[in-house]
Amino acid sequence: MTSSSSEFRQENTIGAGAIGHPRQLYLLFFTEMWERFSFYGMKALLLAYMVMELGFAEEKGYAILGAYAALVYTMPVFGGMLADRLLGGQKAVLFGGILMSAGHIVLALPVGWSFYTGLALIICGNGFFKPNISTMVGGLYEDNDPRKDSAFSIFYMGINVGAALGGAACGWVAHAWSWHAGFGLAGVFMILGTVVFNAGRKSLGTVGLPPSPGRLKEKWGGLIRNDLAVYMLTLMTIPVIIALFNRHQVMDVVMLVLGVASLFYLFYEAFRMEAEGRNKLLAATFLISFSVLFWAFYEQNAGSLNLFAIRNVDMMVGGTELPALSVNNFIPPAWVIVLSSVFAWLWLWLSRRGWEPGTPVKFALSFVFVGIGFLTFFLGTEMAAAGKIPLPVFVAGYFFIICGELCISPIGLSMVTKLSPRHMVGLIMGIWFLASALGEFVSAKIGALMAVPAEVVNDAEASLPYYAGILQQIGYISIGIGAGLFLFTPLLRRWMGNIR
Ligand code: GLN
């Protein structure tokens, strides 16, 4: 770290807000909150829009959703690397924000070409935005600053406040007005987030500045400035992504290659190290690989459960019909907001008594919780009246699923920072996101198993069985994986050494 950034951090410690965090945290909080508002607001509509408005066969809808979700979480590997080496976080977030705003506005246009182009812009934008805004949160603190964990909890709260508001608002606007108005609303908030970030970014001081300003201005291949070259090359990937959507079958190969290559790379790095570092990296690799399966089950939320909520959940409350997409996309982040402080307190309470489970046990628990959540949905299908499950049962299923999220998502982020060798933390964080990309890809394949034939989409009793059996199977398989993972905890504990 440079001495100027040390000074910067000190100044901001002195000028900390009422609860002891530098005010820049709130700039990053609000920027990420509005970005996630638009990201999840749009994602809430995506599958239903393809199936109900564009007339895609359900299987194709799932394939495009899978391709989108996979690419949107693959790009952070590159966006993170380019920011580390050239752009710095500030420029990367700004560029990402501009691309994402453009993407959402394009999606709001009711013209034929807008759909894949809008998605491609969002995919590229997220690659620059998502990893780097989180890195800048970390950059506000010294590594051993005790406020760092709480800063990430506050930031995770921002993510979920945005997600809850975005899912509810965009779902409602799409329901009450039009799909394109829903996408447009997402765009308005993405622009707001980008403008807010740009207005406040000077206050970040040296955090997120380019590592070597001179290199930005150097000419790439003797032709154009390095930074402009990055922007141009990014824009040039947009037609490639559109081509991938048009030939979405290719994504199977792309994701398989990316997954296998990352695994080989992690093994290669691990076996170059001495025993202690190797074992830690092997433990991280093992747990990251399992997280793929977690996201594969969890992400039914953005896929099959959107259509399930529309078709098979009783949305009547006090004589009013709630918009199903809003409900399905509001409940999970709302549970995160409610439960994250409960979990923070619980871990602390357990650790005071020496009972806090280690990371591998928490990972195993996350599968058990998700399994119970899906079995709750299944129970709902058994209780259904006229093909509709009671809303409280749907909400209760998500309660368990979110308990699962809180045992893996924040725990995984911190696990990556603890088990990776210092010089590889950024890259392994990228691979953590890549694991969720793979998981979301698999999730869409599982969702496709619940595709409902066109003849029965408007008949709740007839569509219910297409969901019930698969929801039950996900429940049992997830609990089985959790139980299997428990068996590996002694080995993982040995590999992790002094890390819990
Ligand atoms: N829901 C979290 C977010 O949006 C985690 C997503 C993930 O890791 N795939 O940041």
In tens digits, the chain (500 residues) has pLDDT values of 333 444 444 444 434 443 588 999 999 999 999 999 999 999 999 999 999 999 999 999 999 999 999 999 999 989 988 998 899 999 999 999 999 999 999 999 999 899 999 999 999 999 999 989 988 988 888 866 778 777 888 898 999 999 999 999 999 999 999 999 999 999 999 999 999 999 999 999 999 999 888 888 888 887 899 999 999 999 999 999 999 999 999 999 999 999 999 999 999 999 999 999 999 999 999 999 999 999 999 999 999 999 999 999 999 999 999 999 999 999 999 999 999 889 888 988 988 898 989 899 999 999 999 999 999 999 999 999 999 999 999 999 999 999 999 999 988 888 887 888 877 777 788 889 999 999 999 999 999 999 999 999 999 999 999 999 999 999 999 999 999 999 999 999 999 988 77
- Please name the residues in contact with 296: beta carbons below 8 A apart, sequence gap of 6 or more: 439, 440, 442, 443, 446
Length of the chain: 500
From the CA of 333, give the closest atom in ligand 1. Answer: 1
Q: In whole angstroms, what is the distance from residue 261 CA to residue 214 CA?
A: 33
Probe residue for ligand 1, chosen from 409, 416, 428 as the CB with the greatest number of ligand atoms within 8 Å: 409
In the chain, domain spans: 19-496
436 lines ligand 1 (CB under 6 A): yes
Probe residue for ligand 1, chosen from 159, 291, 398 as the CB with the greatest number of ligand atoms within 8 Å: 159
Q: What is the pLDDT of residue 457?
A: 92
Q: What is the pLDDT of residue 437?
A: 96
Q: In whole angstroms, what is the distance from residue 98 CA to residue 91 CA?
A: 11
Q: In whole angstroms, what is the distance from residue 218 CA to residue 240 CA?
A: 27
Taking CB atoms within 8 Å and a gap of at least 24, the contacts of 151-156 are: 151/21, 151/25, 152/410, 152/413, 152/414, 153/340, 153/344, 153/410, 154/21, 154/25, 154/29, 155/25, 155/28, 155/29, 155/32, 156/336, 156/340, 156/410
Q: How far, in Å, from the CA of 357 to the mean position of ligand 1?
A: 23
Written as one letter, the residue type at 394 is: F
Written as one letter, the residue type at 67 is: A
3-class secondary-structure state, position 389 = strand
Domain covering 19-496 in this structure, CATH number: 1.20.1250.20
From the CA of 130, give the closest atom in ligand 1. Answer: 10
Q: In whole angstroms, what is the distance from residue 176 CA to residue 163 CA?
A: 20
DSSP state string for 249-297: THHHHHHHHHHHHHHHHHHHHHTTS-HHHHHHHHHHHHHHHHHHHHHHH
Q: How far, in Å, from the CA of 460 to the mean position of ligand 1?
A: 32
Element (H, E) at 225: strand 224-225
User: Smallest Cα–Cα separation from 101: which of 179, 178, 197, 27?
Assistant: 197
What is the reported pTM? 0.90
126 lines ligand 1 (CB under 6 A): no
133 lines ligand 1 (CB under 6 A): no
